[in-house]
Structure 1
Amino acid sequence: MTEHATTPGVRADVWLWAARFFKTRSLAKQAIDGGKVELNGTTCKPAKTVHVGDTVRVTRGEERLACIVEALSEKRGPAPEARKLYAETEESAAERERQREDRRLTGGALLRPDSRPDKRSRRLIQDLKKTL
C-alpha cells in the first residue's frame, strides 16, 4: 500500500478498515468507541492519527490481536495487500494459537446432552425459565 508524504498518519478507524480488521469503517468506529481498540497502550478516538511503528491492540469477541503498524493506507485493498499494513506480535500469535488449541480440545465448551429432553424434563425447564 502507499504512504503519503504529505500525510504523516491516517485516522485510526480508516486504518483499521483498510487493514481489514473490520468489514466497514462504521464497525471500526463502533469498536473504538466501545473501548475494543487500544493505540500504544491507551484507548483512542476514531480520529486519532495512526503512525508507522505504533502498537494496536484489537479485541473482537474472544479474539485479541496485538499488532505493530508497518504501513499506512486510506484505501481498502485485497487481503494480501492489507496484511502488509501490520505485523502481529509473536506473543499475540502464540496466545491465539493456544486459545485455538484449547477450544479444539474442549469442543468449543459446548456441553451437549446425549438426547432431547423428555416431557417431564421439558416442563421442568419451562418452569425454571418462568421463575427467572
Structure 2
Amino acid sequence: MESQDATVRVDSWIWSVRLTKTRALAAAACRAGHVRVNGEKVKPAQSLHPGDEVRVFHAGRERVVVVAKLVRKRVGPVPAAECFVDNSPPPPPREEVAVVAARDRGAGRPTKRERRDIERLRGQ
C-alpha cells in the first residue's frame, strides 16, 4: 500500500484494484474514452488522488467507484475491495435464454413436420 500523498496512474490503479483483467485493457479503455475521473475523460497516465470518482465502462456495464487508497501493484480481491467505495448501479437482470430447437448431429435434413415445429418454436 502506498502513502496517501502519492499519486498513481489511472490505468495502473484500475488494473491494481481488479476493475480490468490486464493493464493493457485498462490503458485501452482510457484511450477509448471509457474511463472518466471526476467527470472528465482521461489518458492512461492521468494521476489519481484519494477521493477521486472513477467511472469505468467495461464489459457492458458502468462501474462507479471512489478512490479510498492508492496502490501501485496488483492486490488480491479482499485488499482490492478496501481500495475503493463502489457506487455502481446494480447489474441488469439476466434475460431468460430461449429454448432453441436442436437436432442430433448427422440426423439429416428436417422433415416437413419437424421444420414446421421448428418454425412454431421460433415464432414464425
Range into which the TM-score falls when normalised by the shorter chain: 0.7 to 0.9
Please show how residues 82-121 of structure 1 align to structure 2 within 5 Å: 82-89=80-87, 92-93=88-89, 95-96=90-91, 99=92, 102-103=93-94, 106-107=95-96, 110-116=97-103, 119=109
Q: 1:25 corresponds to which letter in structure 2?
A: R
Give the drift of 1:41: 1.0
> How much has 1:4 moved relative to structure 2?
5.3
Return the structure number with greater helix share.
1
The CA distance in 2 between the partners of 1:63 and 1:86, in whole Å, is 18
**Residue 17 in 1 paired to residue 33 in 2?**
no
- Does the CA-based 8 Å contact 2:4-2:50 persist in structure 1? no
* Higher Cα radius of gyration: 2
Offset at 1:68?
A: 0.5
Instruction: Report the counterpart of residue 2 of structure 2 in structure 1.
Output: 2
CA-based RMSD = 2.1
Map 1:40-51 → 2, pairs under 5 A: 40-51=38-49
State the alpha-carbon separation in 2 of the partners of residues 111 and 88 from structure 1: 33
Taking the aligned partners of 2:12 and 2:86, their CA distance within structure 1 comes to 19
Q: TM-score, normalised by structure 2?
A: 0.75
> Which structure 2 segments of 5+ residues have no match?
116-124
Identity in percent: 31
1:64 is aligned to 2:62: yes
Distance 1:82 1:55, change over 3 A: same
Partner SS for 1:119: coil
TM-score, normalising length: structure 1 = 0.71
Q: Please state if 1:31 is matched with 2:29.
A: yes
Q: Name the amino acid aligned to 2:3.
A: E
